[in-house]
Amino acid sequence: MELVLEKVSKLKGNIFIPGDKSISHRSLILGSIAQGETRIYNFLNSLDCLKTLECMQALGAEIELGKDNSVKIKGKGLYGLKEPKDILDVGNSGTTIRLLAGLLGGQDFYSVLNGDASVRKRPMKRVVEPLRLMGADIWGRKDGQFAPLSIKGSKLNSFQYTLPVASAQVKSALLLAGLYAAGGTIIKEPLPTRDHTEKMLEIMWADIKISPPEIKIKGGKELRGTDIFIPGDISSSAYFIAAASILRDSQIIIKQVGVNPTRTGIIEILKKMGTKIDILNSQIKSNEPQADLMIEYSKLKGVEIKK
């Protein structure tokens, strides 16, 4: 395929951004272990998300992907997944391997997670170690530091755990494991991270209590399938927001994009730099805030960005 890029002098018009990647991953996993039907709208049909879909199908979930990027899932309930016949291939998706490690740690069967060369270089011990503390039997190269990960599902114990490094993926893996643990699991994070897993668990009737920086989840309660409306991905929107900010006479509106406060750092920073960004038509769908963003060209100034 040949791609031709031409210089533009300004940006004008409305933009619809594809669905949020993080929410798409989580909706597939939680919809598969919920009771009843889950319907997902504006699913991100990307390679990483499709790897999560394929892995959940290999675990027995009934998932149909529509041409309009809608997804229908017939949930199997917490204890309805089955042992896969082959290795679960996550491709290049670090989100898939880390979240599924948490899910599979509490199953009553054996499974293996593997990915491409890049995934096999990514650190896994940050998720393997706390799962082992819960009683999960997980093995991997260099004592669980790297994939492939071999998992023999076990009866998990609840625990209290403070994340040494802020990580939404590790937090989400432990919340998924907590669904299968006896008693209440408490997770504390040193800094706020994206909270899509917690928000989705709430609308699926999990026994979860969110008191930042602490989350408590009780295991054993079945989830309920629901409709999930996925907003546009704020991370993918960032390029258009930045471009409209610096191209003279630009004005764009990005429609129905997610504005979860844990993800809007770029908006806050660009506003400090002088970018004119108006947030319009704010609403909550599927427990996630979304809005239209109107961005206009502005003269920017330098700012100090702190963690």
Q: State whether 212 and 95 are in the same domain.
A: yes
Mean pLDDT score of the chain: 97
Is 49 among the domain residues?
yes
**What's the residue count for the chain?**
307
Q: State whether 286 and 180 are in the same domain.
A: no
Q: What CATH number does residue 237 fall under?
A: 3.30.1370
pLDDT (average), residues 97-107: 98
| Domain extent at residue 89 | 22-228
pLDDT digits (tens, 9 = 90+) for 29-60: 999 999 999 999 999 999 999 999 999 999 99
**What gap in Å lies between CA 288 and CA 279, rounded to an integer?**
15
Q: Please state the domain count of the chain.
A: 2
Q: State whether 222 and 248 are in the same domain.
A: no
**What gap in Å lies between CA 231 and CA 227, rounded to an integer?**
13
pLDDT at position 153: 87
Given a cut of 70, is residue 171 above it in pLDDT?
A: yes
pLDDT at position 87: 99
Q: What CATH number does residue 54 fall under?
A: 3.65.10.10
pLDDT digits (tens, 9 = 90+) for 247-263: 999 999 999 999 999 99
Q: Where are the alpha helices (DSSP H) in the chain?
A: 21-32, 47-58, 94-104, 125-133, 141-144, 168-178, 196-203, 234-246, 265-273
**What gap in Å lies between CA 138 and CA 100, rounded to an integer?**
12
Q: State whether 181 and 252 are in the same domain.
A: no
Is 301 among the domain residues?
no
Q: State whether 126 and 250 are in the same domain.
A: no
Q: Which of 205, 228, 251 is the last residue of a domain?
A: 228
Is 305 among the domain residues?
no
Of the chain, the percentage scoring pLDDT greater than 70 comes to 100
Fill in the amino acid letter for 295.
I
Confidence of residue 136 (pLDDT cuts 50, 70, 90): very high
pTM of the full predicted structure?
0.96
Is 126 among the domain residues?
yes
pLDDT digits (tens, 9 = 90+) for 180-231: 999 999 999 999 999 999 999 999 999 999 999 999 999 999 999 999 999 9
Q: State whether 50 and 82 are in the same domain.
A: yes
pLDDT at position 2: 82
Q: Which of 196, 228, 260 is the last residue of a domain?
A: 228
Is 306 among the domain residues?
no
**What gap in Å lies between CA 194 and CA 168, rounded to an integer?**
6
pLDDT at position 7: 83
pLDDT at position 296: 97
Q: State whether 170 and 105 are in the same domain.
A: yes
Dig out the tokens for 139 from the structure. Answer: 């093995």
Q: State whether 162 and 74 are in the same domain.
A: yes
Q: State whether 33 and 127 are in the same domain.
A: yes
Given a cut of 80, is residue 1 above it in pLDDT?
A: no
Q: State whether 132 and 278 are in the same domain.
A: no
Task: Please state at what angle helix 265-273 crosses helix 234-246, rounded to 10 degrees.
Answer: 10
Find tokens 């026994």 and name the residue.
Answer: 207
pLDDT at position 123: 97
Of the chain, the percentage scoring pLDDT greater than 90 comes to 96
Is 261 among the domain residues?
yes
Cβ neighbours for 89, distance < 8 A, ≥ 6 positions apart:
51, 54, 55, 114, 115
Instruction: Give residue 227's region: left, alpha or beta (phi > 0; psi -120 to 50).
Output: beta
**What gap in Å lies between CA 29 and CA 88, rounded to an integer?**
14
Q: State whether 264 and 221 are in the same domain.
A: no
Nearest to 279 by CA among 296, 294, 298, 258: 294
**120 three-class SS:** helix
Q: State whether 224 and 240 are in the same domain.
A: no
Fill in the amino acid letter for 97.
I
Fill in the amino acid letter for 99.
L
pLDDT digits (tens, 9 = 90+) for 56-70: 999 999 999 999 999
Is 281 among the domain residues?
yes
Is 100 among the domain residues?
yes
